[in-house]
Amino acid sequence: MKEYKKCVTCNLPENFPGISFDEKGECCFCKKQEVEWHEYKGMDALKARIQEVIDNYPVKDRQYDAVVGYSGGRDSTYLLYMLKNVLNLRVLAVSLSHDFMPEQTKNNIKNVADKLGVEVAFIENDILNKYGRKSVQAWAKKPNAPMLMTFCTGCRYGIKKLIPEYARAHNIPMLFVGDTPMEYMSYRVSIVCANPNKPTSVSKVMGYGKHLLKNPALMVSPKCLSVQAQEFLIDAGRNKQKKNPNPVTIRPFFDYVPWKEQDVISTIESLGWKHDESLNSSWRSDCYINMLRQYYYRRILGFADLELYYARLIHQGKITKEAAIERIKKESNYPPEVLSEVLHDIYNLDFNEIEAKIKKAEEKCEK
């Protein structure tokens, strides 16, 4: 794998989209202190917003105040705890079931819900099961980094469509999600663009089309392409607020209160939550798709989500560069036997064949 120059402060590499370095070797993201702009409104503001929604909701005779999109991961687990035991809401957990969920995640969902006394409604995400699988199989024909974003085709569909529809059908006024500003991974979209350093809508469409033409296997299913288009291309209005949203989406860890790792881990572990030991990290350990994507981003680019996540922690002064490097090394060490087993059992793909294709592409680029 090619060695890249890295920022002397946050360790982001020179092939990260939009990056530049000064004469001292520090990157532009350190200069901008990109995450310091984010201000939280506070717990009082969160409680006021919740009460406002409840007071204005026309259906008063209802069983639940809120729905939580519950993946069984650490963020949504902590969010479920906070809504139930801190904010004292009548909350329903809604879990999107799919074929890529580790057994430990299934156990977490059951154990935590039982501990908290929360009901869980399961919705099978058939779109993810079918088209997520098709997308990975198509990608494996000509593996590259940009089209790794298609691995979870159908996931955003489930989050944006299936869960809100369930809340509306059951007259539940609020939908809570566990998004944090630390997890906004813009590079995934940027590297798809025709010009990764200028990720405009036009550049995104052009780049997406170019990658489809390079790998025709990705175009085998019109329905699969349609789902991808809805999720990754036709989302220009995703940040526009509807005039009268139903349900109202609230992101506590994005808008109101900061997410603190130590508090989160200690709390959810007291509820019986565990991460899959074979994945080495508690971060996003609720889905095998993410494990594969992270492995192949790092395998092809030399970096993945953890590099950006820890760079942001470095920018905030919450971790040293040396400690971040050690944690990345540990948490990104996915055992080859686990990767091989997942690819074979879920996708009917051979890990070594994909590795050979990636290596061949690397050798071609080096010539």
Chain segment 224-256, per-residue pLDDT in tens: 888 887 786 544 444 445 566 889 999 999 999
pLDDT tens, 242-301? 566 889 999 999 999 988 888 999 999 999 998 877 776 666 778 899 999 999 999 999
Per the CB < 8 A criterion, the answer to whether 45 and 251 are in contact is: no
Instruction: Specify the pLDDT at position 162.
Output: 92
DSSP state of 182: G
pLDDT tens, 3-17? 889 999 999 999 999
pTM of the model: 0.90
Largest pairwise CA distance in the chain? 69
Percent helix, strand, coil in the chain, to 5, is: 55, 5, 40
For range 196-215, the mean pLDDT: 89
Separation between Cα atoms, residue 134 and residue 109, nearest integer Å: 27
Domain ranges of the chain: 34-360
CATH architecture of the domain with residue range 34-360 = 3-Layer(aba) Sandwich (3.40)
Residues ≥6 apart with Cβ < 8 Å to 265: 74, 282
Instruction: Specify the pLDDT at position 60.
Output: 86
Q: Is 88 left (phi over 0), alpha (psi -120 to 50) or beta?
A: left
pLDDT tens, 51-67? 999 999 998 889 999 99
Q: Does 36 have pLDDT greater than 60?
A: no
Going by C-alpha positions, the residue among 252, 100, 266, 281 that lies closest to residue 179 is: 252
Instruction: Specify the pLDDT at position 239.
Output: 45
